[in-house]
Every structure is written in structure tokens, then in C-alpha cells.
């Protein structure tokens, strides 16, 4: 870092998952935002999990714009920790929990954060046992992979004869699947920046739910802000998002998806520890609603990463 505060930032993008193309779009947008903020942004396309050449770049900080497996599951975070390179976003354990929907669900329950009823389905679980458990929930229900992003492998199961196909779809992305009670209601997302909720966004989709196509391809998807909610309910949703961020031990930024059910209750669906930074992405939109333009958002996140890395180094030196 030079005297003017200009940083050398390696923007990690691409990656090895099914979300590679989205990650490339996020990374390119971040690199442009960081350059606009006055930093030296170095795009680094991750095609090798060992990150060859990254040490030689000698970045002040890495901006992790990797979505899906390897990027969001704590793997790359552990590698960066071992390299001694500060990085944006949550650490290895919080990342692992955010990616593992079952682990996240258990954390929500431990911290009394409202979430839809669920049960896990292991790779060896028999069909009849699964069907017996689904009877308690009734139909429709939701079937999703335990570890996947961008709603890949998620199905709404409306009839019992659709269950096996939904499980097969989920298991293409993760050995363990998750069956959830289906919640009828309005879908919202809350960005959380350094522990504080950004303005809420309502997701109005023409498809069954906010799936991959709705997120990245469907021009009919609408992002509504400001949202129309009673002030007390709005505060409860923001507080639930902040509590979910804290429950997983997250850092810097996340996006929390919620549903306000027709039963009058709020439910946290999941925490995205590396939200998108594409032109269609929701965290930058929420930040803009809070008066934080894209370049300043990118700058704030890399500076938070450096600050936390310095604090951790001081803590270790005091306990050494």
C-alpha cells in the first residue's frame, strides 16, 4: 500500500464451480469498481485450486468474487489464510456454514432465528423413509442440495410422484439434500454490510421462485425498493438478517434471503457469504439505496478486510 492509500488488489474470479460464468462477471465488475476507487485491481482467473502465481503478485488484499464450491465453502479462504494474504468476506468456518445449508439451518435453530421446518436426506436414505417424513410437511415442499449456490438444484415438489426427480436433481449438486416445508409468501433479500442491514429489496419473479434463471437471465424479474412493509415488520426482517450474519460468524458483507409468509411470520432461508457483484446483483443495489455507490462499496469492503487482518495479527502477537 502506498502513501496515498492505493491498494494492490487481486480480484479472484471464475473458479471451478458451475457458477464460473457468473463469478467472472462479478469479478470484472469488482475490478472496474476498485480501479474507479483508485486502486490497482489485478484480475486473477482461478483455474487451479492452488492459486499459482498469487504470491508473486504480492497483493495487499484479495477480493474473493468466487461463487459456489471452492469459493464459498471455505476452501479458498483456508488457502489464503495459509498464504498470509488478507481477503474479503467471511473466514473458512463461516463460509463453510453458509454454503452448507444444513449447518446454517442448525445454527439458525440454535440462535432462535426463524427458519422453515426441514429435515436432511442423506445419500443412503431409503425412499420410503423419506416419503414418511414428508407426510408431516404435506405438499408442496422444497427440495434443495445442502451445498450449492445460485439456487442450482432447487425444486418445488407439488406432488409425491415428483419427489424422486427432485432428489435426483438436488443430488447432482450435493450428496445430502434438504427437504423444507414450503412457505407461501413474499420473497425479500437483505444485504448486510459490516454487521448492519442495508435497505431491503423485494423479489418479484415470473417464475416459480427466485431460481438461477430468475437471478441472472429473466428480464421479467423485478427488484422492488423501497419495499412496502409495516415499519415493525421491516425492522424485524433487518434484525433477523443481522442475527443470521452474526450466528454464522460472518465478516464484511453477506446477502440474507427471507420470506414473509402468508401466515404472518418471517423465515430466514439462507445466508450468501459471497453475494454477486454483477450488474443484476442485489447487494450493490441495496448499497446504492443506502447512498453507497459501487466503487465506494468495493473500496469499503477491501479496507474492512485489511482492518480485520491487522487486528487479527495484533491479537496473535499479544497471545504468542
Q: Which residues form the catalytic set?
A: 19, 150, 216, 255, 257, 270, 272, 276
Residue 128, CA distances (Å) to 122, 124, 160, 232 in order: 13, 12, 11, 43
Q: Which residues contact 32 (CB under 8 A, 6 or more apart)?
A: 41
Residue 258 grid cell: 427471507
252, 302 contact by CB (below 8 A): no
Tell me how far apart the terminal alpha carbons of the chain are, to the nearest angstrom.
26
CA dihedral 135, 258, 255, 311 (to 10 degrees): -90
Amino acid at each position: 500500500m502506498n502513501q496515498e492509500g492505493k491498494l494492490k488488489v487481486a480480484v479472484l474470479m471464475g473458479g471451478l464451480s458451475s457458477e464460473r460464468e457468473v463469478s467472472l462477471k462479478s469479478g470484472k465488475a469488482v475490478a472496474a469498481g476498485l480501479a474507479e476507487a483508485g486502486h490497482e485491481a489485478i484480475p486473477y482467473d482461478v483455474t487451479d485450486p492452488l492459486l499459482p502465481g498469487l504470491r508473486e503478485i504480492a497483493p495487499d488484499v484479495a477480493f474473493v468474487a468466487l461463487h459456489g464450491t471452492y469459493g464459498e465453502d471455505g476452501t479458498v479462504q483456508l488457502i489464503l489464510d495459509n498464504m498470509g494474504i488478507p481477503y474479503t468476506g467471511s473466514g473458512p468456518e463461516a463460509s463453510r456454514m453458509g454454503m452448507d445449508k444444513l449447518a446454517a439451518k442448525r445454527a439458525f435453530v440454535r440462535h432462535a432465528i426463524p427458519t422453515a421446518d426441514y429435515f436432511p436426506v442423506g445419500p443412503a436414505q431409503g425412499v420410503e423413509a423419506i416419503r414418511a417424513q414428508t407426510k408431516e410437511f404435506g405438499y408442496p415442499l422444497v427440495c434443495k442440495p445442502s451445498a450449492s449456490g445460485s439456487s442450482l438444484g432447487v425444486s418445488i415438489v407439488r406432488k409425491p410422484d415428483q419427489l424422486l426427480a427432485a432428489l435426483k436433481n438436488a443430488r447432482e449438486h450435493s450428496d445430502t439434500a434438504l427437504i423444507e416445508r414450503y412457505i407461501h409468501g413474499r420473497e425479500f433479500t437483505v444485504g448486510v454490510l459490516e454487521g448492519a442491514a442495508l435497505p431491503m429489496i423485494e423479489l418479484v419473479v415470473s417464475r416459480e421462485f427466485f431460481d438461477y434463471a430468475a437471478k441472472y437471465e429473466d428480464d421479467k424479474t423485478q427488484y422492488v425498493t423501497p419495499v412496502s412493509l409495516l415499519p415493525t415488520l421491516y425492522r424485524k426482517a433487518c434484525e433477523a438478517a443481522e442475527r443470521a450474519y452474526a450466528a454464522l460468524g460472518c465478516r464484511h458483507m453477506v446477502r440474507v434471503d427471507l420470506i414473509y409468509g402468508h401466515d404472518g411470520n418471517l423465515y430466514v432461508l439462507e445466508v450468501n457469504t459471497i453475494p454477486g457483484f454483477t450488474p443484476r446483483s442485489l447487494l450493490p443495489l441495496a448499497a446504492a439505496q443506502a447512498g453507497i455507490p459501487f466503487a465506494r462499496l468495493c473500496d469499503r469492503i477491501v479496507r474492512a478486510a485489511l482492518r480485520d487482518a491487522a487486528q487479527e495479527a495484533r491479537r496473535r502477537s499479544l497471545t504468542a
